[in-house]
Structure 1
Amino acid sequence: MNDGVTNHKQLFISLAIGAAVVIGVGIIAVRSCEPSDGALLGSGDGSGVDPEFAIGTGDGVAGEDLVAASDVVDIEEGEPAVPAWQAPDLSLPPVDFDSPLDLSAAELDPERGALVIHRDDGMLIVLTIDPALQEHLEQTVHRYEEPAEAVVAVEPSTGRILAWVGDHSDVSPVDDPAASAYPFAASVFKVVTATALLESGEVNPELVHCVPPSHRTVELEDLSDNSERDSRCVNMTAAMAGSVNAYFARQADRQLPDGSLALWLDRFQFNREFPVPLHVEPSPAEVPEDRLESARMAAGFRHSHLSPLHAALILATIANHGEMMRPAIISEIVDSNGETVYRQTPEVWRVVMEPETAERLVGILSQTTVSGTARRYFDDREGWPESLQVAGKTGTLSNRGIEETSDDPYLVFTWFAGFAPIEAPTISVGAVVYNPERWYIKGSYLAAEAILEHHRNHSP
């Protein structure tokens, strides 16, 4: 690297100068509502069919988790102490987060084969975004009319953001779903719980436990053994693949002492700003003091929210042997004289878990797309490449409880967060769709499109 290349702190001092602020890359437009290319038209008939497995239902009642929108919590400031090796000193660069990059101003530079932003001061910002992947995902979200859709993809080993796509309609509760942490984390939070359980050393993931079969909720009685009710017998892999709420609630209740789950919120970077020149909302989460609510949180009910970027980074951490890389949207900056004044260098943002834990989680998460809640979007999808194995986790959550009424539009947040290929991951995706009672696509469909398109463009 030549003398003209500055470090990232010097870079962002120069980036702080400027004004234009426009969030997001999607332009709201009239879109086709015709289902095609594997999309599914759902209906909210209240039939009690699990929407993760149902074909053509979007009732959101018998899914993985049901949550009231009123359960959004305010997060108090505070950072649990962690050993220094788990928290490298990577202070946020001096970015003016009130003036994020205007991604809608990005255009393709054919010579560089990259998306770039031309600044008024003559600087050329070269983005990390993959132009072909970005275009494909923009076309995908514009094709289907949903209240809101978003998908963010990152490269696990570098933190480079490969895609940043979001779109919304007039009934969306947010203006920028790609940057928003409005949706509940849902059962994606089971990944955090599984990590905590494995690192506790108190849980054998191969050991089979029998729990109640219900998907609807977790009650206090579900935390105690009952041979008459405990008819679903699973190990951690099967529990993750099937998103078995009672398994994770009961294991967390027994094996995670008070305060330990809060430590894992800190390690996974909940309640923190993201060090990128984009206005990404922190993902709020707080462990309840109540025993039952704490167990419910561990199973993915309530008390945690997630942005697509954060979801992608959590799964990228597992793909990257337990290290969460500092996310990056800028590849390089070229000044008005054509000199490169900044070039992105991968940095570890947080060592989250031991490499051995990450390796075990790869195996545990691999069955979600083979025999679990996302199988028909991946392994069962016609034409899916046999060599393209995906690890990940689904999540399904309504914005209100079973008996709750509200004037707000009924929505179900459907998630998929995962990475591929399993043997050497090159992409990690966080995708969420805000589904109404009648829906066209889910988050798993968006994620599958991202992974498949990336595979088409980059496989040998």
Structure 2
Amino acid sequence: MNLEKKRILILLASLCTGFAILIGYLSYFQIFRAEDVRNNSYNKRLWINEDKILRGSITDRDGNLLAYSEASDGTARRIYKYDRLYSHVIGYSLKEYGKSGLEKSFNSYLVGANENTAINELINLINPTGVGNNLKLTIDHSLQAKARELLSGKKGSIIAMDPKTGEILAMVSLPDFNVNTLIQEWNTVSEDTNSPLFNRATQGLYPPGSVFKIVTAIGVMRASNPDDLYNCTGTVIIDGKEFSDSDKKGHGELGLNEAFAKSCNTYFAIKALEIGHSELLKIAEELGFNKKLDVGLESSSSVFPTDSKGDTDLAASGIGQGRILATPLNMLAIIAGIANDGAMMEPYLVSEMTSPEGKLINSHEQALTMQVGDIDEIARLKEMLREVVKTGTGRNASIKNVAVAGKTGTAENPTGKNHAWFAGFAPFDDPKVAVVVILEEEGSSGGSSAAPIARDIMIHALNNVDFNR
């Protein structure tokens, strides 16, 4: 073979290799990344299509209209009925600033481009169908409005859920923003140091404080005799660091149940050392720490450190301080799972998607995320949570003629005032609603400020939400 033929063969081989790589690259994006590319706010073809498409409507669980589109001067105009109320749940869809919330994660359904094929891409480019699909949420509008009313003037979040199904009934984060005027107010909102664009319910990471004692209590039941008495004097020194209770006079002799009801810090700090880092990490990860809960919104993972930094660090972990951080959504999943006898259901916000003609396209299948603890552990833990509200730090969550269970938390915040927590559920014997309240930099205890808000949310839910649909 002469030199000229060799060169031709090398050139042909190079061209064939190049075509194979190109085909493989395009196939990869079409098969595995098409959805990401389609929903990317920098995709200009997306916006060319969407200018001519009426995005589908979004309703609450009872069919109340929350967001819809109208045609105006040949283009689609998105209308949000309630200005601020759903700014972190539904989010926004703006050509100028992209998308957020369910508008982003369910964009392909809302513009009617959910079939992931090249043919549909071509059809949508040449002749868009004109009307997108609709979303039905699990949110109860009246409970959502009540949650925002109760949180008004504060920073923080309220989330409520049906523990038996995983349906999120309300999700509010404050500060929030007016979706309908966001274009005009973008600079002010985006530069606000209080971060109104940030969804504290799913993205916020806070020291959980005493709410984390739920996790430590499971460890006590597994690692030692929970009925052994501990003499609380109000303070304890661990490796030179002082751990103290809010009442430094001490609680005297107590076992697990009483220590939990009174939220005794020194008891749980000492018990964390007995449990050990690896076991406490294992239990925390059983309950969803170090992994994301996907509800269709931007979210963070709760953090339990995988490394150990000594006894003081471990003792701090036992009372929900130190390096531990939790999202309100994760704490809701935990308390709901306990309410549901250990069956932690997958939280979700969208129950079904329908075509413009009302035909069902997809519906959410309720799913068990994990089984929390064994029967005896959960039964005892539920009784302990009930006692917190009956006689302990959570008495402000009590409801007349309704048995309530829950846990308060007052978390030290190294950058400012304490955060106030409450996580609970009701009714005790037949749980219908689980709720988490986090008041950011409230500067007061969870029992005094977060528990009354949780009580009012539970009252409203039990009186107004149809749980038997």
Equivalence map 1:380-391=2 (5 Å):
384-386=399-401, 388-391=402-405
DSSP 3-state at the match of 1:112: coil
Q: Following TM superposition, by how much is the alpha carbon of 1:171 offset from its aligned partner in structure 2, in angstroms?
A: 5.1
2:315 is equivalent to residue 295 of structure 1: yes
**Number of the residue aligned with 1:418:** 424
How many residue pairs align between the two structures? 341
Gaps (5+ residues) in structure 1?
Answer: 1-12, 22-104, 401-407
- Structure number having the greater helix percentage: 2
| C-alpha RMSD over aligned residues | 3.4
**C-alpha distance in 1, partners of 2:195/2:202?**
13
**2:242 paired with 1:242:** no
Name the counterpart of 2:135.
Answer: 125
Q: In 2, distance between residues paired with 1:293 and 1:361?
A: 25
Q: Which residue of 2 aligns with 1:98?
A: none
1:336 and 1:311 map into 2 onto residues whose CA distance is 37
Query: What is aligned with 1:397?
Result: 411
For the Cα contact (< 8 Å) 2:60–2:138, is it kept in 1?
Answer: no
Is 2:165–2:366's contact at 8 Å kept on the other side of the alignment?
yes
Partner SS state of residue 389, structure 1: coil
Instruction: Tell whether 2:286 aligns with 1:286.
Output: no
In the other structure, the counterpart of 1:264 is 283
The residue correspondences of 1:23-422 to structure 2 (distance < 5 A) are 108=59, 112-113=63-64, 119-121=110-112, 122-142=132-152, 145-146=153-154, 148-168=155-175, 170=192, 172=194, 175-200=198-223, 202-204=224-226, 206-214=227-235, 219-220=238-239, 232-254=252-274, 256-286=275-305, 288-375=308-395, 377-379=396-398, 384-386=399-401, 388-400=402-414, 410-422=416-428
- Could you state the TM-score of these two structures normalised by the residue count of structure 1? 0.66
Instruction: Report what 1:456 is aligned to.
Output: 463
* Contact 2:136-2:352 within 8 A present in 1 as well: yes
* Displacement after TM superposition at 1:438 (Å): 8.6
Choose between structure 1 and 2 for higher RCO, CA contacts under 8 A separated by at least 6 residues: 1
Q: Give structure 2 stretches of 5+ with no counterpart.
A: 1-33, 43-55, 70-109, 113-131, 177-191, 244-248
Between 107-116 and 391-400, the greater mean CA deviation after superposition: 107-116
- Residue 162 of structure 2 aligns to which amino acid in structure 1? E
Deviations 1:19-60 (A, max 9, x none): 679xxxxxxxxxxxxxxxxxxxxxxxxxxxxxxxxxxxxxxx
**Alpha-carbon displacement from aligned partner over 1:277-302 (angstroms, at most 9, x marks no partner):** 11121112215330121022112222
- Relative distance call for 1:371 and 1:221 in structure 2 (3 A) is farther
Structure 1 residue 161, shift from structure 2 partner:
0.8
Q: For residues 111 and 453 of structure 1, do their structure 2 counterparts lie closer, same or farther at Cα, with a shift above 3 Å needed?
A: closer
Between the two proteins, what is the percent identity of the paired residues?
Answer: 24
SS in 2 for 1:424: coil
How many Å separate the matches in 2 of 1:292 and 1:273? 28
Q: TM-score, normalised by structure 2?
A: 0.65
Deviation at 1:231, TM superposition (A): 5.9
CA distance in 2, matches of 1:16, 1:390: 47
Q: Check the 8 A contact 1:318/1:358 in 2, yes or no.
A: yes
Cα gap change, 1:351/1:233 in structure 2, threshold over 3 Å: closer, same or farther?
Answer: same
Which protein is bigger by CA-based radius of gyration? 2
Paired residues of 1:114 and 1:126 also in contact (CA < 8 A): no
- C-alpha displacement at 1:458, in angstroms? 4.5
Structure 1 residues 264 and 231, CA, compared in 2 at 3 Å: closer, same or farther? closer
1:114–1:127 contact (8 Å) kept in structure 2: no
Aligned 8 A contact 1:196 1:264 in 2: yes
CA distance in structure 1 between the partners assigned to 2:281 and 2:230 by the alignment = 25
Q: Tell me, yes or no, if the aligned pair for 1:116 and 1:124 is still in contact at 8 Å.
A: no
Contact 2:59 2:136 in 1 (8 A): no
